A and B are shown apart, each in its own frame.
Chain A
Amino acid sequence: MDAEIILKVDGTEYQFVADTRTTLLDALRERLGKTSPKKGCDHGQCGACTVLLDGKRANSCLALAAAYDGSEVVTAEGLAENGDLHPMQRAFVEHDGYQCGYCTPGQIVSAVGMLEEAEAGWPSHVTEDLNVEEIILDDGEIRERMSGNLCRCAAYANIVPAIREVSGR
């Protein structure tokens, strides 16, 4: 079965017809040429496919495109504005927060979404006081909140400082 789908991706609206089995990740990559979200595990375990879906970070491999008709998607590519890298992208470059780079777009989008969650006062599993007003993102908090993004090169030692630097601004 085919469905007509409208998606706003990185500021541009797209209209296309796709099989209802098409995941958001496959729609982005194969239909719209948006290849910054990566297919790692395709089962929601690695985070390489992370996008901002209606403003919240999500695994695009587990979302059916037809179910998100009318939604707004931001990929790592769309984080840059007017050709300038997003502060998180710059921090990853400055801190060498990758080796092969395959997980990087997902890491960066996830980190951007994560900072907004912390800003909103959302606690995490390692937040000592559940009722705390302001979240202080120390390394333990960053690691816990980013546990849905795996890096097989294990560049975590540089990813964490990159995120910490942006969170401190």
Chain B
Amino acid sequence: MRPYSYVRAQDVAGAVATLAEAPNAAFLAGGTNLVDLMKLGIETPDILVDVRRLTSERIEDLEDGGLRIGAAVPNSVLAADRKVRTRYPALSQALLAGASGQLRNVATTGGNLLQRTRCVYFYDTTTPCNKREPGSGCSAIEGHNKNHAVLGTSEHCVATHPSDMAVALVALEAFVNVQGPGGERRIPIEELHRLPGDEPQRDTTLEHGELITSVDLPPLAFSSNSKYRKVRERASYAFALVSVAAALDVKDGVVRDVRIALGGVAHKPWRATNAEEALRDEPAIRENFRAAADIELEDAQPLRDNAFKVPLVRNVITRTLLELSEER
């Protein structure tokens, strides 16, 4: 590991100010991804600013009926929270489908959002990777790309975003509160992560020095009828091949409203707005669910090894919506 200075800031403002002055400094929270990347020489900060004790570890009710999740809330605590389980089950399920018991106890809400791709070439420092080393090339496009993206890829990067939690948060239309050198701002979570384009080294739209302080869940009336389904190669403790988070509002057999987000298919959690649009005011039946999924997947561009993801996503969307429409 490259040597670095370890700093424990007194407060969020101090942490932000330290980063603002040091272009190669990084925030440290749970460290379950960052420390690993530092061991491998993929992340090489010269200053580590420990923020684990700085942001809130509480889950609080908001006046509008939503919930505010402190950035330091561990994944395990968030998954087990009674309000989250009842009002936002897709979020609990997504968290429980990710990592292991040990990791969930340490990984934080803010850190989960900022974890980096598990693309094998990103991790293998002997191979080119535009995300790790801009301009060096992408080894996955012509390489082993079974786990890679089928939507929103670029000629520079086909990596996927690894978080399960973020997929659920996108379906639940969460907001991310950040504090940075320029003050505070509130970002719709859909705008937090970005597509690779010609800057795959940038996972998010955050500027250097911006710290996630909390995540807000809005009081979506039908979020209690939500679900997360993940398909992976092991029964437990594996990243998603594909995953779906959905919330559905059905009345008299007709879709009143729906939210769908996909994991394992793109550089960011993929909000399936085309499918949502196709479903609104239509009968909540299997054929329509399938047809809507197909509309979303029209632009899919599978690679050599991952064409299976397209029908898999379609089937998982269909089944998840079917279950949500039956459970009501």
Contact = CB atoms under 8 A, between A and B. Distances in A.
A137 B48 CA distance: 40
Contact of B236 (A43, A58, A125): A125
Given A47-B102, A58-B102, A67 B80 contact: no
A121 interface: yes
A125 B6 contact: no
Contacts of B236: 125, 143-144, 147
Given A43-B39, A67-B28, A125 B96 contact: yes
Given A110-B102, A121-B80, A130-B85, A59 B6 contact: no
A59 B86 CA distance: 30
B31 interface: yes
B100 to A, nearest CB: 3
Given A42-B39, A63-B35, A131 B103 contact: no
Contacts of B237: 147-148
A20 B48 contact: yes
A65 B206 CA distance: 28
B49 to A, nearest CB: 11
Most A Cβ at <10 Å: residue of B4, B39, B105: B105
A156 interface: no
Interface string A46-69: 010010010011110011101100
Contacts of A43: 36, 39
B50 to A, nearest CB: 5
A117 B6 contact: no
Interface size class of B (residues with CB under 8 A): 35 or more
B79 interface: yes
B223 to A, nearest CB: 13
Contacts of A166: none
A66 B6 contact: yes
A122 B80 contact: yes
B89 A130 contact: yes
B130 interface: no
B79 A123 contact: yes
B106 A58 contact: yes
Most B Cβ at <10 Å: residue of A19, A20, A145: A20
Interface string A105-131: 000001001100100111111010011
B28 A44 contact: no
A69 to B, nearest CB: 8
A19 B6 CA distance: 10
Contacts of A148: 99-103, 237
A56 B105 contact: yes
Contacts of A21: 1, 3-4
Given A1-B4, A58-B106, A123-B92, A67 B32 contact: no
A50 B48 contact: no
Interface residues of A, number: 41
A149 B106 CA distance: 16
Contact of A145 (B3, B74, B101, B235): B101
A59 B92 contact: no
Contacts of B126: none
A131 B85 contact: yes
B97 interface: yes
B93 interface: yes
A130 B52 CA distance: 28
Interface in B5-34: 5-6, 28, 31-32
A131 to B, nearest CB: 6
Nearest to A51: B102
B288 to A, nearest CB: 27
A146 B235 CA distance: 12
A167 interface: no
Nearest to A42: B39
Contact of B6 (A53, A57, A64, A130): A64
Given A53-B105, A56-B74, A147-B235, 6 more contacts: A1-B4, A64-B28, A66-B6, A113-B101, A130-B85, A148-B103
Interface of A: 1, 3, 19-21, 23, 42-44, 47, 50, 53, 56-59, 62-64, 66-67, 110, 113-114, 117, 120-125, 127, 130-131, 143-149
Interface of B: 1, 3-6, 28, 31-32, 35-36, 39, 48, 50, 52, 74, 76, 79-80, 82, 85-86, 89, 92-93, 96-97, 99-103, 105-106, 235-237
